[in-house]
Amino acid sequence: MTRLVNFYTEREHYILGGGFILLLIIAWESVPHLVALPRALSLFFTTPSKVWETFYELLVRNEVQAHFYVSATEFLLGLGLAILFGLPLGLIMGRSSVMDAMFDPYVTALNATPRIVFLPLLILWLGLGIWSKVMIVFIGAVFPLLINTYEGVKNVDRVLVNVVRSFGANEWQVMKMVVLPNSLLYIVVGLRLAIGRAILGVVVGEFYGATKGLGAMMARAASAYQVDVVFVGVAIFMAVSLIFTLTVKKIESKLTRWRPEAVKSF
Amino acid sequence: MVPYIQAKNLNLTFRPKNRDPVTALLGLDLEASQGEFLSLVGPSGCGKSTFLNVLLGLLKPDSGDIRLNGNRITGPGQERAMVFQEFGLLPWRTVQANVELGLELKGVAAATRRQRSAELITLVGLNGFEQHYPHELSGGMKQRVGLARALATDPDVLLMDEPFAALDAQTRDLMQMELLQIWDRAKKTVLFVTHSIEEAAYLSDRVVIMTARPARTKSTIKINLPRPRDYEMRLSAEFNDIKARIWETLKEELMTRSAGDGS
Ligand SMILES: Nc1ncnc2c1ncn2[C@@H]1O[C@H](COP(=O)(O)OP(=O)(O)O)[C@@H](O)[C@H]1O
Ligand SMILES: [Mg+2]
């Protein structure tokens, strides 16, 4: 008995959270069995079991995989480029006031502009293939990474820089021993934001102009009243976002072992 | 014979952007002999930390000459180490890794580092806390880490910038006693900045009293109390006499400062 209680208390958080989701799904599933939906409404209505069936069919026909592959490619390429550009530029702008002054106007102006305004141009220039989407993902993801890295570098403790210098550290060692560890948390927070924006970029980009990808699949299904297919897309995006959020949180808590508990959550 | 540490006519003015320049050192002269325990007292903001940073090699004076053992100081060096006021521990490093910082930068092999840091952690009484992070330690423990880190590279000169200011009175008394024991065994030259007259008188061979900003040395008082010194000594008439003498000299400077604050 106590073992059962222990089992519960250790996992209470997950059991309650998971249980509530399960409850909602059951409630949703039972709606058509409890009330008679008017014909017009039932056209737009679906149930979890139907979504699951559709998902299975699409899986068998290899359709979701194909769309997923395109979306994932856009996401990974765009985010990868954003990391490749955002991190070094953030570090450089944080350390050098000349670079800071040079790039700051662009960063501020571009970051303040809603990224969607670039979409028509990008599609004109890059076409309906993956590269217009890669670019929109890049534009969305690069700024949170750049700005957070920059903030982290700027917030470095001068005293700690002096401490390691006094023990004979050179510029590179100062970077490695103080500036980087100090910025790491900021960078991870930036990464979390960047992932959210990257996923948004994929969805919006594909809604607007694409022939392949989960977003395109959803847009097409919606115009054909295939509510089940739209929900399959929603579920996949939710699952992916959740996985990424949890992964980044894991990384974050690994990196914050040296921090007092209270400061842990931003 | 050349003094072991010799500062001659040091001048240093800070020129912060968009603000008035601040002259922190103006013609500062100071000497210390090898193995000496020298304290610096003076009004806060007079330039004591600035001087220690010049001696440490982190700040370059505008003019003047500062030498250690006859060699001009141009940057940080292994023969000097600082115990910082607010501890200056790297929060993402464990106690052990903090203590090993200087050794790591010196390029000492990991195994040797480990052995050396273990010795020092024992010396400052932090056994069992090797894998703790600074935020898990009390103020007194943090400053023990700071002390162990400074001693790890076995420097000849130990610079201490109000090292015990952030500690409670009892921890402070304890740390003072331990510092004296360590100093007695290791025979380092110590330059110790404090705003506590009592602390300066208790620890030092000589106490240098500095003027209000810009800092110069106003006068030096020799403490001829026998060593090893114990806590009871602080109650003696002789000790109180010394404290009174330091206070007399310092008082004038504190007045100058408060007069200057009004302007
Ligand atoms: N990096 C700096 N830039 C500008 N002013 C400084 C700087 N460091 C110290 N000062 C000023 O120089 C004076 C002496 O400072 P400091 O040496 O820290 O005094 P103390 O340690 O004696 O209290 C103070 O007025 C302080 O404001
Ligand atoms: Mg100071």
Instruction: Check whether the bond before B134 is cis (ω within 30° of 0).
Output: no
H/E stretch holding B154 reads none
Query: Does the CB atom of residue B48 touch ligand 1 within 6 A?
Result: yes
Three-state SS string across chain A, please? CHHHHHHHHHHHHHHHHHHHHHHHHHHHHHHHHHCCCCHHHHCCCCCHHHHHHHHHHHHHCCHHHHHHHHHHHHHHHHHHHHHHHHHHHHHHHHHCHHHHHHHHHHHHHHHHCCHHHHHHHHHHHHCCCHHHHHHHHHHHHHHHHHHHHHHHHHCCCHHHHHHHHHCCCCHHHHHHHHHHHHHHHHHHHHHHHHHHHHHHHHHHHHHHCCCCCHHHHHHHHHHCCCHHHHHHHHHHHHHHHHHHHHHHHHHHHHHCCCCCHHHCCC
Q: Which two tokens stand for residue B247?
A: 């206070």
Among A160, A168, A259, select the one facing B88 at the smallest CB separation.
Answer: A160
User: Chain A within 8 Å of B79 (Cβ-Cβ)?
Assistant: no
Output the residue whose Cα is nearest ligand 1's atom 6.
B14
Output the residue whose Cα is nearest ligand 1's atom 16.
B47
Q: How far apart are CA A208 and CA A128, in angstroms?
A: 9
From residue A258, give the alpha-carbon distance in Å to each of A108, A157, A162, B95. 33, 16, 21, 11
Q: Relative to the CA of B43, which ligand 1 atom is closest?
A: 22
DSSP B73: P
pLDDT tens per residue, chain A (266 residues)?
678 888 888 888 888 888 888 999 888 888 888 888 787 777 788 888 888 999 999 888 988 999 999 999 999 999 999 999 999 899 888 888 888 888 888 888 888 888 888 888 888 898 888 999 999 999 999 999 999 999 999 999 999 999 999 999 998 899 899 998 888 889 999 999 999 999 999 999 999 887 899 999 999 999 988 899 999 999 999 999 999 988 988 888 888 778 876 544 44
Which residue in chain A has the smallest CA separation from B79?
Answer: A167
ipTM: 0.90
Output the residue whose Cα is nearest ligand 1's atom 20.
B45
Contact B88, A163 (CB under 8 A): yes
Q: Which of B17, B48, B50 to mutate to test the pocket of ligand 1 (most atoms within 8 A of CB)?
A: B50
